[in-house]
Amino acid sequence: MVDDWRTDRIGSARRGENPTVLRRLRAGFAVIGDVQFLPGYSVLLVDDPAVERLSDLSGDKRLAFLSDMDRLGEAVERACRRRDASFRRVNLEILGNTDGFLHAHVWPRFGWEPAELVRKPVWLYPPDRWTDEQYALGPRHDLLRTAIGEELDRLRTANR
């Protein structure tokens, strides 16, 4: 058994032990990000840790993953737009430079971001945004987590 879900994010999600999971989707898990300096940041994790890249998936599974990414992006957009009038858009990214498993980042972007960063990639934010406890996921994000989860449910129902 893995003591820390962070060392096995997908396995812990499959076992129901990953506390960041918002919903199980067709090809993966929608999770809220460990850091929330941009409130609503979420990630789509593929459901098989052996899958390293999008091209590792069969055509049907690839389309399902991309559809899940779209659904999570729209859910984050809807939840963030309701909660913050300065919401601007959502950025979707599949990078794969750090973690060896397929995943997609969903970054909400806001008008209140620093002028020098608001139109740039999130990865240019200073290192403290990724490590400072004030930006860590915590109980204060519970309402946002609930809102994104409810939007995922609505979008599932709407797409049937």
Q: Which residues contact 122 (CB under 8 A, 6 or more apart)?
A: 38, 91, 105, 107
pTM of the model: 0.94
Max Cα-Cα span within the chain: 45
Strand locations in 18-144 (E):
21-24, 28-32, 42-46, 87-93, 103-110
Q: Which of 109, 118, 49 is nearest to 73 (CA)?
A: 109
Mean pLDDT within 10-27: 96
Inter-residue contact 68 to 58 (CB < 8 Å): no
Q: What is the phi-psi region of residue 16: left when phi exceeds 0, alpha when psi lies from -120 to 50, beta otherwise?
A: left
Q: What is the architecture of the domain spanning 5-111+126-158?
A: 2-Layer Sandwich (3.30)
Note the pLDDT of residue 99: 83
Record the tokens describing residue 126, joined without a space: 């200073």
Q: Where are the domains of the chain?
A: 5-111+126-158
Residue 1 has pLDDT above 50, yes or no: no
Mean pLDDT within 39-65: 96
Which residue reads 């941009």 in tokens? 38
Task: Read off the pLDDT of residues 88-146 as tens digits, 9 standing for 90 and up.
Answer: 999 999 997 788 899 999 999 999 999 999 999 999 999 999 999 999 999 999 999 99
| Angstrom distance (rounded) from CA 67 to CA 4 | 29
Q: Which of 39, 45, 44, 3 is nearest to 138 (CA)?
A: 39
